[in-house]
Amino acid sequence: MQETSTSELIARVAEPIEDLESDNIDRLLERVGDARIVLIGEASHGTSEFYRYRARITRALIENKDFDFVAVEADWPDAARIDHYVRHMKTPPAEWTAFTRFPTWMWRNEEVREFVDWLREHNADINDPEQRVGFYGLDLYSLFTSIDAVLDYLEDVDEETAAIARERYSCLAPFQSDPVTYGRATLTGRHRECEQDVVNMLTDLLNQRLKYTEQDGSRFMDAVQNARLIANAERYYRSMYSGYSDSWNLRDQHMFDTLEALLSYGGKSSKVVVWEHNSHVGNARATDMLVRGQHNVGQLCREAYGDQAYLIGFGTHTGTVAAATDWGDPMEIKQVQPSLTGSWERLCHESGVPAFRLPLRHPASDTLDTRLHDRRLERAIGVIYRPETERQSHYFLAQLAGQFDEYIWFDRTEAVTPLTTETLRGVPDTYPFGL
């Protein structure tokens, strides 16, 4: 008797997605259960179906399971601009327009805009701003925007401390146009390290917690997080020249620590949805990141919260994606190459089911569960996509069932739709995605 193939087993247990917008996701919500953290990934930073279905799940978690905030792979100050908008905050919004640095399309797209507008509408009927669902950034690239945010806050609440902060942060000023050069300058001895200055500033802020919190606890939390970001970003840019794993671990540790700070601020019953790339939300211990000495947000959440963290990944076989060829290059709409033979993506494609959800934590088949713990190639497309070196640039080894609790598949996908000047013409100044 011929053995049933893995693709056939996948087809048998998969829950087909008939329509992205109206599909019933009650069974997925049942599997999420009482999880406090739901991490929802994406196999690229530029695929419409990933963004739209992630938003669909998030809306259901907010409406049916009372999740308190959304935390995304984005810089804290940019996300704060969104948070101000969706929570109808009365304090003046930040002056900058959100998400204008490379890669702009990652968050400035129609798919994110639709969710942000939905979240603002959802919050409109909640009287207490602190009870409205928030939107926060976990990443650490916004070094100088965060410096400006800390200085603006301190100038309002404590001018003497603001002057001290300006002096301490001036150590980093020569690198404002290109923070990456800071690490090289300290490594070669051409500039002193600014570590102690930025750590002292964070410590001073924390020591004034009671004084500042009495004035405005929410603004103080924002300032502390920006100060923490500055301290971690200084280490991150310095570590870029000591090894990739060092900088990767610093970044994901910062994102996890920020997540912890949000949960602490929200209280013991607070719940969060995390939006990041598969490479951040899947458990790193089930991938070859483990061999490289790397950890990620998904692993740290699993270790800290156990089954209270629910990890969801995405995948696709072919289609189009918004991406660049090199860092800083213009966005292009690129053709996604068909998945490699033997990869997880190819097995899903060969199932013949065009779109589905695949439960992994509680599998319907022991045989399939065993096979899903095999090590196979898995594809990851970030903001960079190089089809000409697909195998070397975009594939790594992973145990799918060890990496995620749920896997969502769209066989053919399309690129996100970036926001254009024409789309945004005439929007009010308070709109976060302004011109």
**pLDDT of the residue at 3:** 85
pLDDT tens profile 271-294: 999 999 999 999 999 999 999 999
Say what the pLDDT of residue 49 is: 98
Each residue's pLDDT tens digit, 309-324: 999 999 999 999 999 9
Q: What is the per-residue pLDDT for 271?
A: 98
Secondary-structure class of domain 6-139+271-424 per CATH: alpha beta
Contact 186, 238 (CB under 8 A): yes
Question: What is the average pLDDT across 232-246?
Answer: 83
What is the reported pLDDT for 92? Answer: 59
Q: What is the mean pLDDT of residues 49-74?
A: 97
Over residues 218-245, the mean pLDDT reads 87
The residues spanned by each domain of the chain are: 6-139+271-424, 142-247
Please tell me the total number of residues recorded for the chain in this structure.
Answer: 435
Q: What pLDDT is recorded for position 435?
A: 66
pLDDT in tens, 9-19: 999 999 999 99
Instruction: Please report the pLDDT score of residue 329 as a whole number.
Output: 95
pLDDT mean over 360-382:
94
Residue 19's pLDDT is: 92
221 pLDDT higher than 70: yes
Whole-number average pLDDT of the chain: 93
- Judged against a pLDDT cut of 80, whether residue 96 lies above it is answered with no
- Answer yes or no: is pLDDT of 245 > 80: no
Q: Name the least confident of 123-132, 309-318, 379-388.
A: 123-132
What is the distance, to the nearest Å, from the Cα of residue 387 to the centroid of all Cα atoms in its chain? 24
Residue 408 binned pLDDT confidence (cut-offs 50, 70, 90): very high
Compute the average pLDDT of residues 104-128: 95
Average pLDDT for residues 228-248, to the nearest whole number?
Answer: 86
Predicted confidence at residue 93, as pLDDT, reads 56
Section 409-431 average pLDDT? 87
pLDDT of residue 95: 64
- Lowest model confidence (mean pLDDT) among 73-82, 340-349, 376-385: 73-82
Q: Which of 55-64, 234-243, 364-373: highest mean pLDDT?
A: 55-64
pLDDT top residue among 183 and 164: 164
pLDDT-derived band at 185, boundaries 50, 70, 90: confident
pTM for the full predicted model: 0.94
Q: What pLDDT shows up at residue 270?
A: 96
- On the question of pLDDT at 194 being above 70, the answer is yes
pLDDT on residue 363: 83
pLDDT above 90: residue 362: no
pLDDT at site 214: 78
* pLDDT band, very low/low/confident/very high, at 1 (cuts 50, 70, 90): low
- 217 vs 105: which has the higher pLDDT: 105
Mean pLDDT score, 201-223: 87
